[in-house]
C-alpha cells in the first residue's frame, strides 16, 4: 500500500507523518503476533496495555516529564477537556482551600472563548482576566500582561497556547506573568509536540490529538499528580461543586491506567508512533527548529507582498502552527484556492467562522511541501 506524498495543510484532522501512516496501516491488518489488527484487540489485553505504556514513555521522554506529573488518555476531544479541566481543577482547589474558587480565563481566540463559556455553563464561577477581542476589537493579538486582571481566589488560570482558528500563539509560557503559585492549564491541542516546554510549570496540559499528534478520538492530559486526590463527593457537593461524569474524572482514569472505559487503542497507537517520529528526528529541539524554519518561509512571503496577503495577527503573536491571511477580494481568494488545488496544495481554506486562508504547519507537513507552497505564493503575488 502506498500513496503519492500529499501536500496537505488541513487544520485537523490533519496530515500524519508518512512513516506513521505506513506502520499504522499494516497494524490495522495484523498487530504483532495476533491474528487480528490493532483496532480489534481488547483495550485491557497485554498488547493494548503495552501500547498505552509505550505511548506514555515516549511522551515522557520527548518532554522530559518529571515524576510529579501523570499522563492520561481519554475521549472527548478538546471540547470534553473544557469540562474535564473545570471539574478537576476546581475540585483540587477545594481540597486545598475548602473553597470553590474562581476559574480565570485568558481569552485570545475562539477556543479559549468556548472553554470559558463551557465552564460557566456547567455552573463554575468564571472570570475573564483578559480578552483580546474586547481590548483590540478582534482576535489577532495577545493583550499586554500588565493589563491582565485576576481574582483573589484563583482556582486555576486557563489559556489556549495556540488558537487554531485565529492563528494566535503565545510565544512562551505565561507563568512569569501570573500570580505566584496559581495552577496553570494550557490547551495545546494544535501545538503539542512542536516545541520545547517546561512541563513542571503547568498544573495540566490538555491536547486533542487530531491536529499535531495523532487522530481524532484521543485526548492527552499531562497533569500534576496532586490533582489526582480530591475530597469525598459529599464534601464537594456541600461546597457547591458539580460532580464530574466518571469518564472525565482524572483520579479514576489514573487508577485504571486510562482504561476505566473502552479506550480507542488505535488512537493511542498512532499517537505513540507520532511521538516516535519526533524522537527519531532528534527530539523537540530539532522539531522546533524545523517548525520555525517552515513558518518563517511562509511569513516572509506574506510580509513581502502585503498588498496581496493581509496578515491579521500581530507579529508578536503569530502562530507557528496555523498561519492565517486574507486576500483583497473574494474573487482573488477563489483564484488563489483554485490555483493551489491544481498544484495539489490542499486544506488551505480558512475556518468557516473567519474565512480567508489558513496554512497549518504541523509536524507532518514536510519542508518540501512548504517550499512548493511559498513558490506558488510568490508567483501568484507577481501576476495579480
Residues 218-264 have pLDDT tens digits of: 999 999 999 999 999 899 999 999 999 999 999 999 999 999 999 99
Cell readout for 368 is 518540501
Please identify, among 245, 279, 313, the residue that sits at the C-terminal boundary of a domain: 279
Cell readout for 96 is 486545598
Q: Are residues 203 and 291 in the same domain?
A: no
Q: What is the rounded CA–CA span in Å between residue 269 and residue 20?
A: 10
Q: What is the total count of domains within the chain? A: 2
Please identify, among 252, 279, 306, the residue that sits at the C-terminal boundary of a domain: 279
Q: Are residues 106 and 222 in the same domain?
A: yes
What is the model's pLDDT at position 384? 81
Confidence of residue 34 (pLDDT cuts 50, 70, 90): confident
Q: Are residues 272 and 217 in the same domain?
A: yes
Q: Are residues 80 and 193 in the same domain?
A: yes
What is the model's pLDDT at position 278? 98
Residues 110-132 have pLDDT tens digits of: 999 999 999 999 999 999 999 99
What is the model's pLDDT at position 161? 98
Q: What is the rounded CA–CA span in Å between residue 106 and residue 269?
A: 33
Counting residues of the chain whose pLDDT is more than 90, the rounded percentage is 96
Q: Are residues 32 and 171 in the same domain?
A: yes
Q: What is the rounded CA–CA span in Å between residue 172 and residue 45?
A: 40
Helices (H), ranges, the chain: 18-29, 46-63, 77-97, 110-121, 132-136, 233-238, 250-255, 265-281, 284-304, 330-342, 367-383
Q: Are residues 304 and 234 in the same domain?
A: no
Dihedral of CA atoms 128, 132, 135, 141 in degrees, nearest 10, equals 150
Q: Are residues 54 and 127 in the same domain?
A: yes
Q: Are residues 249 and 274 in the same domain?
A: yes
| 70 domain residue, yes or no | yes
Q: Are residues 267 and 304 in the same domain?
A: no
> Comparing C-alpha atoms, which of 181, 119, 121, 172 is closest to residue 153?
181
| 2 domain residue, yes or no | no
| 12 domain residue, yes or no | no
Cell readout for 171 is 510565544
Q: What is the rounded CA–CA span in Å between residue 42 and residue 145?
A: 48
Here the CATH number for the domain that contains residue 347 is: 3.90.1150.10
Q: What is the rounded CA–CA span in Å between residue 384 and residue 381?
A: 6
| 372 domain residue, yes or no | yes
Residues 191-217 have pLDDT tens digits of: 999 999 999 999 999 999 999 999 999
Counting residues of the chain whose pLDDT is more than 70, the rounded percentage is 100
Q: What is the mean pLDDT of residues 4-27?
A: 96
Q: What is the mean pLDDT of residues 284-291?
A: 98
Q: Are residues 273 and 303 in the same domain?
A: no
Q: What is the rounded CA–CA span in Å between residue 55 and residue 77?
A: 18
Residues 6+ apart with CB under 8 A from 266: 24, 28, 38, 39, 215, 217
Q: Are residues 251 and 293 in the same domain?
A: no
Question: Do 154 and 101 meet the contact criterion of CB atoms below 8 Å apart?
Answer: yes
Confidence of residue 1 (pLDDT cuts 50, 70, 90): low
| 291 domain residue, yes or no | yes
Q: What is the mean pLDDT of residues 39-51?
A: 95
Task: Give the Cβ contact number of residue 200 at 10 Å.
Answer: 12
Residues catalogued as catalytic: 111, 187, 211
Here the CATH number for the domain that contains residue 127 is: 3.40.640.10
What's the residue count for the chain? 384
pLDDT exceeds 90 at position 318: yes
Q: Are residues 159 and 218 in the same domain?
A: yes
* CA 253 to each of CA 46, 155, 220, 319: distance values in angstroms, whole numbers, following the listed order: 18, 22, 12, 32
Q: What is the rounded CA–CA span in Å between residue 320 and residue 298?
A: 10
pLDDT exceeds 90 at position 3: no
pLDDT exceeds 70 at position 23: yes
* CA 47 to each of CA 37, 53, 54, 265: distance values in angstroms, whole numbers, following the listed order: 11, 10, 10, 10
Domain encompassing residue 174? 27-279
Q: Which residues pair with 300 in a beta bridge?
A: none
| 34 domain residue, yes or no | yes
Burial of 68 (C-beta count, 10 Å sphere; 0-12/13-18/19+): exposed
Q: What is the rounded CA–CA span in Å between residue 84 and residue 221?
A: 10
Please identify, among 279, 311, 341, the residue that sits at the C-terminal boundary of a domain: 279
pLDDT exceeds 90 at position 12: yes
Amino acid at each position: 500500500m502506498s500513496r503519492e506524498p500529499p501536500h496537505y495543510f488541513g487544520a485537523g484532522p490533519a496530515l500524519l507523518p508518512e512513516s506513521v501512516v505506513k506502520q499504522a496501516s499494516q497494524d490495522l491488518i495484523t498487530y504483532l503476533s495476533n491474528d487480528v489488527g490493532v483496532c480489534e484487540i481488547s483495550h485491557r489485553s497485554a498488547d493494548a496495555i503495552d501500547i498505552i505504556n509505550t505511548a506514555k514513555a515516549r511522551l515522557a521522554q520527548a518532554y522530559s516529564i518529571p515524576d510529579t506529573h501523570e499522563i492520561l488518555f481519554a475521549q472527548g476531544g478538546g471540547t470534553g477537556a473544557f469540562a474535564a479541566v473545570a471539574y478537576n481543577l476546581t475540585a483540587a482547589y477545594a481540597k486545598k482551600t475548602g473553597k470553590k474558587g474562581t476559574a480565570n480565563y485568558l481569552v485570545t481566540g475562539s477556543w479559549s472563548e468556548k472553554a470559558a463559556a463551557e465552564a460557566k455553563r456547567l455552573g463554575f464561577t468564571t472570570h475573564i482576566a483578559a480578552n483580546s477581542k474586547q481590548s483590540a476589537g478582534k482576535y489577532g493579538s495577545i493583550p499586554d500582561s500588565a493589563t491582565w486582571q485576576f481574582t483573589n481566589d484563583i482556582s486555576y488560570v486557563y489559556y489556549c497556547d495556540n488558537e487554531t482558528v485565529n492563528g494566535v500563539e503565545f510565544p512562551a509560557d505565561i507563568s512569569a506573568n501570573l500570580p505566584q503559585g496559581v495552577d496553570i492549564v494550557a490547551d495545546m491541542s494544535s501545538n503539542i509536540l512542536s516545541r520545547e516546554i517546561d512541563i513542571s510549570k503547568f498544573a495540566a496540559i490538555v491536547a486533542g490529538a487530531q491536529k499535531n499528534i495523532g487522530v481524532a478520538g484521543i485526548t492527552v492530559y499531562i497533569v500534576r499528580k496532586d490533582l489526582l486526590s480530591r475530597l469525598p463527593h459529599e464534601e464537594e457537593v456541600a461546597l457547591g461543586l458539580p460532580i464530574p461524569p466518571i469518564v472525565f474524572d482524572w483520579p479514576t482514569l489514573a487508577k485504571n491506567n486510562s482504561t476505566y472505559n473502552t479506550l480507542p487503542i488505535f488512537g493511542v497507537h498512532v499517537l505513540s508512533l507520532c511521538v516516535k517520529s519526533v524522537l527519531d528526528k532528534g527530539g523537540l529541539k530539532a522539531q522546533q527548529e524545523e517548525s520555525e524554519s517552515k513558518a518563517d518561509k511562509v511569513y516572509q512571503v506574506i510580509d513581502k507582498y502585503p498588498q496581496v496577503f493581509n496578515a491579521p495577527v500581530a507579529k508578536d503573536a503569530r502562530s507557528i502552527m496555523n498561519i492565517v491571511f486574507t486576500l483583497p477580494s473574494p474573487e482573488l481568494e477563489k483564484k488563489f484556492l483554485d490555483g493551489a488545488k491544481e498544484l495539489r496544495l490542499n486544506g488551505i481554506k480558512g475556518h468557516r467562522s473567519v474565512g480567508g486562508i489558513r496554512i497549518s504547519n504541523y509536524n507532518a507537513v514536510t519542508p518540501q511541501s512548504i517550499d512548493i507552497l511559498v513558490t506558488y505564493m510568490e508567483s501568484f503575488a507577481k501576476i495579480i
